[in-house]
Structure 1
Amino acid sequence: MIPVGVAVERVFRRESGAVLAGLIRILGEFDLAEDVLHDALASALERWPSDGIPDNPGAWITTTARRKAIDRLRRAATRGAKQASVAALIELEADERRDAMSRDQPDIADDRLRLIFTCCHPALNREAQVALTLHTLGGLSTGEIAAAFFVPVPTMAQRLVRAKAKIRAAGIPYVVPSASALPERVDSVLAVVYLVFNEGYYCATGPDGVRRDLCDEALRLARLLAQLLPERAEVLGLLALLTLHHSRRAARDHVLDEQDRSLWNHAEITEGIELTKRALSIGPAGSYQLQAAIAALHAEAPSFEGTDWRQIVALYTELARRYPSPIIELNRAVAVSRTHGPEAGLALLDQLGGSGSLDDYQPFHAARADLLRRAGQVEAAIAAYERAIAGAPNQVARDYLSKRLGELSEGLGGPLGGPSGGR
């Protein structure tokens, strides 16, 4: 039997977003909802050792959190407000999905979708949107979010407090926007869903480098958005991109050229490729569509060596033209190294390095180390690997880079080895 503390942590990671979203909808207040959720988790730590872990831990936490909220409301506020809120909570406990949405809202009654539109309201800046979404829907602690943003924990705590205060002070509604307002709001939501998935897929805190709950939640939200806006190309593009990346999750403990492709989810690959084709057919290619097209080329290749690298270079070139970014240029340089050799890729990386924009970006140093190794520049590669290891986001990355460094140090590495390529 797993320890109670571990069970509670797993429930929190898996269920907290849904429970919190439901509580916020009824209570209309982030802090109170978070407080009663944590009260419920504390009760689990107290009671489960003697009562045993429930068959459905998530339902137990949900019910307990609602009862904690009812208790608090009975002790606070005016009698009229108290009775209205308690009645709503009791009704929610009987049927969470009974509340009616206004006529001009999309017919998707999903608390988490409402919560993400609240967290991504244009009144909040992008960093606050992402941080609040990771905190509420993703269940990340303030410390984990601070690490993701490379800021001190007190700084991130203040950002979260200010964001919730702004929602409360501005009276930002807890709803999916009306059909007329939805298009102008969706871009920020897509960006946040993408970043939530990336936080899960390239997780700094997970022992295996993946936060599966965040990946699953981002995919679920992307599917809901595709139901809301089935003819919006970038919505489908994002869903395609996430689906294709997710298809390789079972093999994420190896870099791309070393992955066992039999572990890939080929049903998801088929779905992702079809979504990519549909997204590209709807309108001009946007960022997510182009990235999905690149992911599709990786997914449909029979082997790493059989990948259509020239087409990938062309797509990265177009992506960089439309959406200039040093990270896109980094990926393009790695792809160029596959079509024109590591020296050509290194020349592009040297240009990027000269700007200083990627000095603190660990994947830049990992890619440079790999290209130096493939070019036979052993001493320079060793130094680059050491720098990449120092900034590695998780143990999986550290282990892989340390293995490559060990091979070089022992004279076993060579110019024909694998890439830094994506995982």
Structure 2
Amino acid sequence: MSQESAREPRPETVRDIDPEIADALGEEKQRQRDTLAMIASENHVSEAVMEAQGSAFTNKYAEGYPGARYYAGCGPSDTVEELAIERAEELWGADHVNVQPHSGTQANMGVYTAVLEPGDKILSLELDHGGHLSHGHPANFTGKTYEVEQYEVDPDTGYIDYEGLRETAESFDPDIIVSGYSAYPREVEFERVQEAAEAVDAYHLADIAHITGLVAAGVHQSPVGVADFVTGSTHKTIRAGRGGIIMCDEEYADDIDAAVFPGAQGGPLMHNVAGKAVGFKEALQPGFEQYAKQVVENARALADHLDERGLEIVSGGTDTHLVLVDLRPSHPDTTGGEAEEALESIGLVLNANTVPGETRSPFNPSGIRAGTPALTTRGFGEAEMVRVANIIADVVDAPNDEDVLAAASDEVDELTDSHPLYE
């Protein structure tokens, strides 16, 4: 008997080899089918994107870049990465694109590594006002490596205080100014940030992680060609493989590529790059622009009706995919964490979030953040968003009322059943 024939047959499925993980995979798919996903940074990718991400590329090391790899056997990897780059350049109109970052945060790390030295200065939006950890929070590598100063939103309007940003830039003299945010519902005026950066001879990094798809579709102004560097996530409003992306002018291309590899990470996750390529191709189809427009219209409908129900909407509305609610004026004794927990119990999943002028701990803040990308993918329109707003308001009004929770749960079931996912 040959050695090959004497071997045990190799299990071919997760169920065969690891029933516990198979159960968890099945539970997660069912959870997504049965709940309303309203975390603003989440979406539902297509079966095609999932197929690419679960492909044999997960086995391949491809350190380096197309045509200049450190390993053999990278022909198919080069094809996939080149297609992802070409499609990204077409989507966003960028001169140079690096598709290797594993996340939006690592994309930001790539930019910082390319142009900053430890101790250099970053000016960015305060986290409580809608900024992001990777823009300089003390718990993040940025806050540990660089000197950070932060600007804010106007407390009366909820809009970025661009005059205050410029004044802070002139007094702080940063090396780089970061625009783009994780919980800011209004359109970003990238030109005004660029003017502030030029006034103090600073770089401008526009982080469009949340609005990548909206920018690609032309429903939000683009920082490409305005800011020196543009970073983003590829799995929020764009519905591609999970990861990050960096865009820049050709003059910075070599520095950015060297900063990503070998500067900030090792071999690219080629299965994720494949997922990015497939998602980018989907976004180049005519229907994507209408999808992105509907994402924004749905968010506006959600904000308007929550406002009608008496909830305080930060900045009075939204121009993007997300709605930020400050619970303090209408429900001073209810925290964002309590609202999040009650809503999850009936099948609606969003997140507690800090709000401008936050008075509570970031672990149990005063607001909630809701996004519309995933529900729009499921086919929701404005009429459904009004129903969703009523669910949220009902539960926030009475988070411990069993009758209210039961009725809200039934409403979630009706909405998920009528808009099936991954059949």
The two structures have a TM-score, normalised by structure 1, of: 0.28
Point out the structure with the larger helix share.
1
Point out the structure with the larger strand share.
2
The two structures have a TM-score, normalised by structure 2, of: 0.28
Q: Find the structure with the greater CA-based Rg.
A: 1
**Which gives a bigger RCO, structure 1 or 2 (Cα 8 Å, sep 6+)?**
2
